[in-house]
Amino acid sequence: MKKYYALIVFIAANYFSLNAQFPMADMDPVSWSFTKTDLGDGLYELNISAKIEDPWHMYAKDQLQAGPIPTSIIFEENENVGFVGQLTELVPAKIKFDEGFQFDVGTYYELAEFSIKAKVNSAEEIRLKGNIEYQCCDDEVCLPPFSKEFSFRLKGIAIESISEKTQVQSELVEVEKIVVEEQNELVEQDESQTQTSEVLSKEQNETNVILDDGREKKSDRSLIGFFLITFILGLAAILTPCVYPMIPMTISFFMRGEQKKSKVVMKGLVFGFSMILVYTGLGVLVALTGMDANFGNVISTHWIPNIIFFVLFMIFAASFLGMFEIIMPSGLVNKVDKQAERGGLIGPFFMGITTVLVSFSCTGPIVGSLLTEAAGGDAMKPILGMFFFSLAFALPFTLLAIFPSMLKGLPKSGGWMNTVKAVLGFMMLAFGMKFLSSMDQSYHLGIFTREIYLAIWFVIAVIMGFYLLGKIKFAHDSDLPYISVPRLLFAMASFVFAIYVFTGIFGNDLKSISSMIPPKSSQNFTIGSNEGNSTDAVTEQSATYAGPGRFDDLFHLPYGLKGYFYYEDGIAAAKKLNKPVFLDFTGHSCSNCKQMESQVWSDPRVLQRLREEYVVISLYTDDKTKLPEEEWITTQEGKVLKTIGEMNVFLELQKFKTFATPWYVLMDADENLLTEPIGKELNIEKYLAFLNEGLEK
């Protein structure tokens, strides 16, 4: 019952919020038309049709379970009109699992048509009135129910005598008896179908629970990884030279005056809470300034944000390498610092804010990098990311404020903090290259290719190794009389990584970092034969390839696979070859897509399925190649779709109601789903099971 109460509240909320802005008549996305056909002898066929605007839908007139508001067509009683048969659907409703009601519902999309036969038994013209009740929903909102009145004008028939009229009425009575008997039979059939549907619905619910649970777990794993990184960077920020020396000075603030333990604990908690509040507030600000369904796609591929983010990362890197410091305005810091001298809990609160502002020259670049990485993802990503960063950052301060005796165990500040800061600078320098790479691939510039990207990473790793060995020194570094064992180990790790990256220039897949580097298809320089990288490994006579298609010059599949990059071309090939379709929604800047191709598609069993069993259609949702003007699409909202990426995003949204990448769909040649689509799945056995299930069906 709870879900029905929730539905009522949901509809009511939508009704009042929408009605406050627009008259409901203007919001009806359904246009109705009414036609009649004279079959002779007073018999008419009445047709009622509804044209439904995209993306709205109506619910079918016959529902197996209570829940959605069905489309109801009710005729007013009229003694001079009788009905032959029952109201029938000319366009059958589509049965679809509804996430809101958690069971299968009948749904009308784009068009709904109904028909019924009526018999007139009067010599005079009859006006047959009726009313339609229906509700329209899309995937996000439901409009309040609508009511539409209608009427048909039906000509009378010539009845010469009372006996003939009586005979007509008798015939109608007999017809109605037959109709009643037919309806009773249909009721019995419906009861049987209902029982079957309940079983199927139960199985479908269980399947969806498993699928949803799997998707949630995958999403959770991705977010957990990001949150773990933010927590580690929060701890790393403490070790920088503009934060670590502040610890003793900050702790002394709590050791003066009041020594009562309970008050010290409370002040320490307020102090830590204020720091978390500031950083988490930044995350909230980012989340509120542009998180829509496709914002991540735009922000990760358009040249303007990519250039801005690249410049920001270079500025942050230069700051950490000692070129200059990013500091907050001194006036702001002084004003907040004065508030910290106040008593009670106000003092510790502003002391925490002061700590954040003073340490900004070191934490600012880290926070900026994290927010840049989080922007365009899940709306909760920047909020929770900043929360975990600030939690790690505030935790040592808070614990030392409550237990100041722990301060004695901390190592003394020194040159090692500058080393931590410089290493973070090298990392920002390397990761900043990602933005140039995404832009290059999306616009097919062919400048920042895979080998150039890897060469830059190789040089950065080598320089960082020499820096850790003390062979390179920056302005803020002190003399290094000897190399400590930890520093030597980090230097060795840097050189090992440099050698590993160097092998990628010569064709190595680099599977462990595939999600962070350009795909092999963007590499122009290779040595030796490598079947995995050869685009000619499969001939055009492949069992799943029916000849060249559109955009073949722009895109290439990995591992020598042959496929299509234009939806209609792939569907046409599938029909010609009588093969199922493997539909791959991907992106140049999609890290998970690259990881899937490198770690899952490379498996020989997966490759065999894609190479021999499926027609592969790979659609890039972030490509910026402009289409000819005659192919531009104008959406219902008035937005003009001009590029390949925009067209593919629109196609994915219309057909599958998602913007996700990667998104893998298995269909037959008639575009019917063979199994539930999936996203990122690094478990090869599960991915194989997904492909095999599609083949079986």
Of 149 and 351, the structure prediction assigns the larger pLDDT to 149
Of 355 and 4, the structure prediction assigns the larger pLDDT to 355
Instruction: Give the per-residue pLDDT at 607.
Output: 92
CA angle 406, 412, 417 (to 5 degrees): 115
Of 98 and 274, the structure prediction assigns the larger pLDDT to 274
Minimum mean pLDDT range among 141-155, 622-636, 652-666? 141-155
Of 216 and 447, the structure prediction assigns the larger pLDDT to 447
Dihedral sign from CA coordinates of 629, 574, 592, 219: positive
Instruction: Give the per-residue pLDDT at 457.
Output: 94
Of 358 and 290, the structure prediction assigns the larger pLDDT to 358
Task: Report helix, strand or coil for 22.
Answer: coil
When pLDDT is cut at 50, 70 and 90, the band that residue 399 belongs to is confident
Of 200 and 239, the structure prediction assigns the larger pLDDT to 239
Instruction: Give the per-residue pLDDT at 315.
Output: 86
Minimum mean pLDDT range among 211-215, 321-325, 417-421, 621-625? 211-215
The residues, ordered by sequence, that sit 6+ positions from 521 with a Cβ below 8 Å of its Cβ are 535, 555, 556, 557, 558
Q: What is the mean pLDDT of the segment spanning 296-319?
A: 75
Of 240 and 36, the structure prediction assigns the larger pLDDT to 36
Instruction: Give the per-residue pLDDT at 686.
Output: 94
CB-CB neighbours of 99 under 10 Å: 10
Q: Is the pLDDT of residue 189 over 70?
A: no
Instruction: Give the per-residue pLDDT at 80.
Output: 85
Q: What is the mean pLDDT of the segment spanning 685-692?
A: 94
Instruction: Give the per-residue pLDDT at 633.
Output: 85
Q: What is the pLDDT of residues 552-569, one digit of tens each?
A: 888 889 888 999 999 999
Which residue type occupies 465?
G
Q: Is the pLDDT of residue 689 over 90?
A: yes
Please give the model's pTM, rounded to 2 decimal places. 0.48
Place of tokens 């099971």: 689
CB 156 within 8 A of CB 123: yes
Per-domain boundaries in the chain: 2-197, 220-413, 425-528, 558-696
The mean pLDDT value of the chain amounts to: 76
DSSP string, 138-206: -SS-BPPPEEEEEEEEE------SHHHHHHHHHHHHHHHHHHHHHHHHHHHHHHHHHHHHHHHHHHHHH
Of 138 and 220, the structure prediction assigns the larger pLDDT to 138
Q: Is the pLDDT of residue 215 over 70?
A: no
When pLDDT is cut at 50, 70 and 90, the band that residue 81 belongs to is confident
Residue 48 DSSP class: E
Q: What is the mean pLDDT of the segment spanning 585-598?
A: 84
Instruction: Give the per-residue pLDDT at 566.
Output: 94
Of 649 and 543, the structure prediction assigns the larger pLDDT to 649
Minimum mean pLDDT range among 6-10, 215-219, 297-301, 645-649? 6-10
Minimum mean pLDDT range among 18-22, 232-236, 298-302, 334-338? 18-22
Using omega within 30 degrees of 0 as the cis cutoff, is the peptide bond preceding 519 cis? no
156, with CB counted inside 10 A (0-12, 13-18, 19+), is: middle
Minimum mean pLDDT range among 150-159, 179-188, 277-286, 350-359? 179-188
Q: What is the mean pLDDT of the segment spanning 640-645?
A: 89
Q: What is the mean pLDDT of the segment spanning 624-651?
A: 86
The residues, ordered by sequence, that sit 6+ positions from 630 with a Cβ below 8 Å of its Cβ are none
Q: What is the mean pLDDT of the segment spanning 234-258?
A: 68
| CATH class of domain segment(s) 558-696 | alpha beta
Instruction: Give the per-residue pLDDT at 335.
Output: 64
Instruction: Give the per-residue pLDDT at 390.
Output: 85
Selection from 122-126, 275-279, 309-313, 600-604 with the highest mean pLDDT:
600-604
When pLDDT is cut at 50, 70 and 90, the band that residue 377 belongs to is low
Of 685 and 239, the structure prediction assigns the larger pLDDT to 685
**Pairing status of strand 615-620 against strand 581-586:** parallel
CB 94 within 8 A of CB 106: yes
Instruction: Give the per-residue pLDDT at 527.
Output: 55
2-197 classified as CATH 3.40.50.2300: no
Instruction: Give the per-residue pLDDT at 673.
Output: 92
Task: Report helix, strand or coil for 474.
Answer: coil
Instruction: Give the per-residue pLDDT at 220.
Output: 52
Place of tokens 């599949």: 557
CB-CB neighbours of 291 under 10 Å: 19
329, with CB counted inside 10 A (0-12, 13-18, 19+), is: exposed
When pLDDT is cut at 50, 70 and 90, the band that residue 241 belongs to is low
Selection from 173-182, 191-200, 257-266 with the highest mean pLDDT:
257-266
Of 361 and 297, the structure prediction assigns the larger pLDDT to 361
Which residue stretches of 559-664 are H helix? Answer: 567-577, 591-596, 604-612, 644-656
| Share above pLDDT 90 across residues of the chain, in percent, rounded to a whole number | 18
